[in-house]
Amino acid sequence: MINYVDGKTCRGPYRKTGPGGPDILMISFDMVPREFYLPREGDLAPRTPNLDSLKQDGLFFSNACAVSPLCSPSRAAMYTGRYPYIVANGERYHDGQQEHIREGDTIYPEYLRASGYRTRHFGKCHVGAAKYLDAFGENDAPWDRWSPPWYDDDGYRDYLRSLGIESFGFEREIRGLPPSGRGKGNFLGGWAGAGSGPFSAFPKEGTYPAYTTNLALSELKNRKPGQPSYLQIDYFEPHQPFFIPSGYEERERDLRAALSLPESWESAAEGRSEAPLPLIYSRYRSYWGIGDRKTAEDYLVANVLQYEILDAEIGRITGSLKETGAYGSTMIVLAADHGEMNCRGGLVDKGAYLNPRVLQVPLYLKPAALNQADPVKRGVVIDRLCSLLDIAPTVLGAAGIEALAPFDGRSLFEEGTRDRKLLAEVFAHVLPNPAACLIFERGKETGMYTVNFADPVDEWYCRSEAGIWTEKNRAVPGAAPGDIIKEMTAFFDADERWSAYSSYMRVIHAGADDAGQDLQKFVSHSNSAP
């Protein structure tokens, strides 16, 4: 029997493939650097006992990637299971571009709701509030932007007043230099205090992630027996601007004592570069203005502290599930929407460029054990290439739902072969730089070749079996082996969505096999060419 998310319009057809599924908890973080979940020697890494525990209780995917380095398109892919037509965040999109998921599209929580799940959401949205109301109901209050609603979320302000906090500010700010090099540049957060100055201590329980967690914990208490539950929590953190409350002074001192700036930051600060990079990187260095040593050190320390604050909130949620006996029977998915430069190359945040640091993401999956006979893998690290596109089919499969619309992702429970190919793309963020890259597996290695369509410099990266990404060649177009260029062109040829990229590859990376080809897509009304 075919069911529909919307029976009147026949939108979102699906079949039930089994009985009701488990309770499901989906948690997203915003912008997480690689060293927070795959640290190497010398990295300033956070302490994350609760995330470590979640990793030990399920599967951790160490080679997961986003299909965009930006919030809106990446989240659109995560929740539709499809490559997005959104290529810029809503704050920076060009007139005429899509900034929200279209009304006619379906995000996977809508299937869950239509099939009988109680669906609830707290936190960020950034793909269009209307679509979240479709998925979570009219009581949802999603905020649809990149920046945190510290000052205009009435519920949060009421919550602060209940703690005796009427106002707050920052005792120590982190700011970059503007492109001119004079005055104050971008505000990147800092250490908060209650009041308007002189400041008093700002309590840990007053932070916005603590407030978001409180809302989620209230929902966990309101779950209805006998009805499966889907709870989605979209934290803004650890995205800058950072908000560090009181109580972390000793930990801050320890971090500063262990801190050393990345070598690539040192090189960028001194104007050194091992190989040519697309111009977009130096433009972003001017935008962020992180060339001052103290600013870079403050950023690195605050980022770690913000992540540790977030880890504590995850502990509150999993602790509540354990207290009620629901932890084992709840499927938990946790991922970030994209990566973060974290001072590497003199850059922070992300941007309109494609490299492993902004595309690699953490991805945790704790399966649900509905009875003692359920085989549940625990403490397993999976190194094959996977994507945020895979979350939608994974969750729906666990819920016994077969969506009758195509997904670009595949279930994370499928073993698969190590020959996968994925696309990532971007158009604009702060600065425009249309680019696309092919991410591909070859045995136990993963490659990433990026074409910057408005820049003569392409980028080629390779991930070894040990999980370390290195630049292979960043000098000139066509520097990659011809077989990679052919694979990329064939990938674009195979899907009408990427026809513009296909034409570019055949013009810029023209080879002997392109001789005599007509690229105009001329439509003839006869069976023979004119």
Helix, strand, or coil (residue 104): coil
367: pLDDT strictly greater than 50:
yes
C-alpha–C-alpha distance, residues 145 and 150, integer Å: 12
Tokens of 321: 């599930």
Alpha-carbon dihedral sign for residues 252, 253, 255, 260: positive
What residues contact 76, with CB distance under 8 A and at least 6 apart?
Answer: 84, 86, 101, 127
Q: What is the mean pLDDT of residues 324-328?
A: 94
- Determine if the peptide bond prior to 432 is cis (ω within 30°): no
303: pLDDT strictly greater than 50:
yes
Phi, psi of 395 (to 5 degrees): -65, -45
Alpha-carbon dihedral sign for residues 99, 186, 168, 191: positive
C-alpha–C-alpha distance, residues 113 and 132, integer Å: 12
Smallest CA-to-CA distance from 18 within 328, 332, 370 is with 370
Residue 131 domain-assigned? yes
What digits encode the pLDDT tens for the residues 379-414?
999 999 999 999 999 999 999 999 998 999 999 998
Of the two residues 94 and 449, the one the predictor is more confident about is: 449
C-alpha–C-alpha distance, residues 237 and 173, integer Å: 17
DSSP 475-526: SSTT-S-HHHHHHHHHHHHT-GGGHHHHHHHHHHT--GGGTT---S----SS
Of the two residues 1 and 521, the one the predictor is more confident about is: 1
Of the two residues 222 and 66, the one the predictor is more confident about is: 66
Cβ(504)–Cβ(434) below 8 Å:
no
C-alpha–C-alpha distance, residues 48 and 364, integer Å: 13
Q: What is the mean pLDDT of residues 185-214?
A: 96
Residue 111 domain-assigned? yes
Q: Starting from the edge strand earliest in sequence, which strands make up the sheet with 64-65, in order?
A: 360-361, 64-65, 386-387
Question: How many independent structural domains does the chain possess?
Answer: 1
Of the two residues 513 and 488, the one the predictor is more confident about is: 488
DSSP 149-194: -TTT-HHHHHHHHHTT-S-EEEEEEEEPPPTTSSS---EEEEEEEE
Element (H, E) at 321: helix 293-323
- Determine if the peptide bond prior to 46 is cis (ω within 30°): no
Confidence of residue 377 (pLDDT cuts 50, 70, 90): confident
Of the two residues 128 and 93, the one the predictor is more confident about is: 128
What amino acid occupies position 103?
E
Confidence of residue 480 (pLDDT cuts 50, 70, 90): low
For residue 389, the tally of other CB atoms under 10 A from its CB is 25
Confidence of residue 526 (pLDDT cuts 50, 70, 90): low
pLDDT value, residue 372: 55
Cβ(2)–Cβ(209) below 8 Å:
no
C-alpha–C-alpha distance, residues 407 and 390, integer Å: 9
Alpha-carbon dihedral sign for residues 408, 409, 414, 416: positive
The four Cα atoms 219, 224, 230, 233 give a dihedral, to 10 degrees, of: 0
Residue 505 domain-assigned? no
Residue 274 domain-assigned? yes
Q: What is the mean pLDDT of residues 196-217?
A: 96
Helix, strand, or coil (residue 270): coil
Q: What is the mean pLDDT of residues 218-230?
A: 91
What amino acid occupies position 227?
Q
Tokens of 427: 């158009």
For residue 412, the tally of other CB atoms under 10 A from its CB is 24
C-alpha–C-alpha distance, residues 213 and 313, integer Å: 6
What residues contact 207, with CB distance under 8 A and at least 6 apart?
Answer: 243, 245, 309
Confidence of residue 107 (pLDDT cuts 50, 70, 90): very high
Please report how many Cα atoms fall inside a 13 Å half-sphere around the Cα of residue 448, on the Cβ side.
Answer: 31
What digits encode the pLDDT tens for the residues 147-174?
899 999 999 999 999 999 999 999 999 9
Residue 452 domain-assigned? no
Residue owning tokens 């602060």: 160
For residue 289, the tally of other CB atoms under 10 A from its CB is 21
Residue 419 domain-assigned? no
Q: What is the mean pLDDT of residues 100-119?
A: 94
pLDDT value, residue 530: 47
C-alpha–C-alpha distance, residues 41 and 35, integer Å: 10
Of the two residues 276 and 39, the one the predictor is more confident about is: 39
Smallest CA-to-CA distance from 43 within 244, 303, 351 is with 303
Beta bridge partners of 122: 233
Confidence of residue 516 (pLDDT cuts 50, 70, 90): low
Residue 465 domain-assigned? no
Angle at 151 between CA 146 and CA 153, to 5 degrees: 80
pLDDT above 90: percentage of residues in the chain: 74
DSSP 52: H
Q: What is the mean pLDDT of residues 484-507?
A: 89
pTM of the predicted model as reported, rounded to 2 decimal places: 0.95
Identify the domain containing residue 337 by its residue range: 23-413
C-alpha–C-alpha distance, residues 472 and 456, integer Å: 17
Smallest CA-to-CA distance from 366 within 414, 331, 415, 336 is with 331
Helix, strand, or coil (residue 374): coil
Residue 39 domain-assigned? yes
What digits encode the pLDDT tens for the residues 9-48?
999 999 999 887 999 999 999 999 999 999 998 899 999 9
Of the two residues 489 and 231, the one the predictor is more confident about is: 231
Look up the CATH number of the domain holding residue 280: 3.40.720.10
